[in-house]
Structure formats: structure tokens, C-alpha cells
Structure 1
Amino acid sequence: MEHVFKFEKILTIREKEKERALGEYNEAVKRFEEAAEKLYHFLKQKEDYEEMYKQKLKNGLPIQDIRHFRQFVMNLERTISHYQQLVIETREQMFLKQTKVAEANIEVKKYEKMKDKHIAAVLQAIQTMENHWMDEISIQQFVNRRN
């Protein structure tokens, strides 16, 4: 006797949604990590370049080199600012995707719990039916022994 969970298709759809949300979350994490790594790279580059500039400044530096340094640092700061904004945006997207994964997971758990309760109810009904049949068989055997 086969019993079908009436929400099986919905459960399957919710599981697919959860997998899709998890994939989107993983992609958002990847984008965040890439942006954060690039930001770190540019911050490190600026720090290294400023340290090198300080060393050269101690030894004396032509005005043209100072102008090049200032221009380079200004461009680097614009790039850093861009990546800081990008890191903020990708972090927000990552948190948004994480929330969607959590919500999808809750939905799947609801349907899984309903399925578990359904299976438990079906098994209980089968057990009750089997017990009833066993009682009937016992009564029949008892009646047949008396005759």
C-alpha cells in the first residue's frame, strides 16, 4: 500500500529554490571576496608606495617625481574608494542572499516536517490496521478451536 505525500511537488520545488538561493549566495560570497582582495591589494600597494616615497624623499627627490607620486596616489585613492564602495555593495548583496537562503531553508524544513508527520501518521494507521487484523485472526482461530 503506497501513500503519497500530497505536498511532494511543492517540497521538490522548495528544495530547488533553496539550491538556487544557495548557489546565488555562494556566487555573492565569491564576488565579495574578489572585491575585498582587490581592495586589500590596492591598499597594500599604496602603503608600499608611500613607504618607498618616504625613503626616496629622505635621499632627495626631484619635483617631477613628487608630482608623479601625487598623481599616482590620487589615482590609487580613487581606485581604493571605488573598491571600498564595491566591497560595501557586495557585502550587502551577500547578506541579502544569505537571508534568502535562510528563508528557503525554513520553507524546506516546514515541508519536510509535514512529510515526516504524514509518514508517521500513515505508519500509525498501518500499525492500527495490522493490529485490528491480528485481533480478527485471533478471534477466528479461537472460534474455530471451540468448534
Structure 2
Amino acid sequence: MGYAFKFNKILSLKEREKDEAFSTYNDSVKKFEDVAQKLYELLKKKEDLELYQSTKLTNGLSVQEIRHHQQFIGNLEKTIEHQQKMVINARNRMSYFQEKLMEKNIEVKKYEKIREKDSIQFLEAVKSLEGKQMDDISIQLFVNRGS
């Protein structure tokens, strides 16, 4: 008599859902890292440009060049602001998928715990049945010897 877990199909379905949630979470982490890296590069570019501009100002810079740099920095700040919003959205998305992954993980653990308890009950029932069979055999042997 072999053991068969009655919720095996459900457990495999939950494991597949967990794997999908893990994959989606990893994708969201990758997208977050990409967006954050782009923001970092924009901030670094702005910092370098401001440092370049301050260095040039000490040596002398025409009004036209100052305007050009200020306009460029203004456009860069708008791009940075937009990128910051994208980072926030990516972080929120990543957090959402992390929660979903944790929920799926908990569901799988519940079914694994049920399987573990069910397996223990099955083994105890088998031991009990074997014990009864051994008692029956002992009684039969005793009766046969007695006659």
C-alpha cells in the first residue's frame, strides 16, 4: 500500500505559481536596477557638468555659454525628475511582486506542512495495521500450538 498525497495536484499548481511569482519578482528587480542605474548616471552627469561649469567660471565664460549650460542643466533636471518618478514606480512594483512572492511561498509551505502531517498519519496507520497483523499472527500461532 503506497502513500499518495491527496492534494498533490494542488501543491504542484501552487509551486508553479510560486515559480512564476519568483520569475516576475526577479524581472521587477532587474527593471528597478536598470532604472536606478540610469538615474545614477544622470545625477553623475549633472554633477560633472556643474563641476565643469564652476571650473570654467573661474577662468571666464561668455554669457552665451553660461545660458547654454544653464539650459542644459535645466533640461537635465527635468529628465532627472522624470527618472526619479520611474525609480519610485519601479520600487513600488518590485515591492508589490515581493509581497506576491511571499504569499505564494506561504501557500506552498502550508501545503507542504499538510503533506508532512498526512504522511506521518499514514505511517502511523501502517505501523498500527502491521502491529494488529502481528498480533493476529501471534494468536494464530498460539492457537495452532495449543491444539
TM-score by length of 2: 0.97
Aligned to 1:119: 119
1:55 partnered with 2:38: no
Q: What whole-Å deviation, never above 9, does each CA across 1:83-121 have from its counterpart, x for those lacking one?
A: 100000000000000000010011111111111111111
Deviation at 1:3, TM superposition (A): 3.0
Whole-angstrom distance in 1 between the partners of 2:31 and 2:145: 80
Q: For structure 1, which segment, 13-22 or 137-146, has the greater mean C-alpha deviation from structure 2 after superposition?
A: 137-146
1:23 maps to a residue whose letter is: S
Task: List structure 1 segments (4+ residues) > 6 angstroms apart after TM superposition.
Answer: none
2:79 maps to a residue whose letter is: T
Give the alignment of 1:1-147 within 5 angstroms: 1-147=1-147
2:93 maps to a residue whose letter is: Q
Q: For structure 1, which segment, 91-100 or 134-143, has the greater mean C-alpha deviation from structure 2 after superposition?
A: 134-143
Whole-angstrom distance in 2 between the partners of 1:3 and 1:19: 26
Whole-angstrom distance in 2 between the partners of 1:86 and 1:129: 64
Whole-angstrom distance in 2 between the partners of 1:140 and 1:7: 40
- Work out the percentage of aligned pairs sharing the same amino acid: 51
Deviation at 1:2, TM superposition (A): 2.0
2:86 maps to a residue whose letter is: L
Deviation at 1:63, TM superposition (A): 1.3
Whole-angstrom distance in 1 between the partners of 2:42 and 2:135: 81
Deviation at 1:138, TM superposition (A): 1.2
TM-score by length of 1: 0.97
Secondary structure of the residue that 1:82 maps to in structure 2?
A: helix
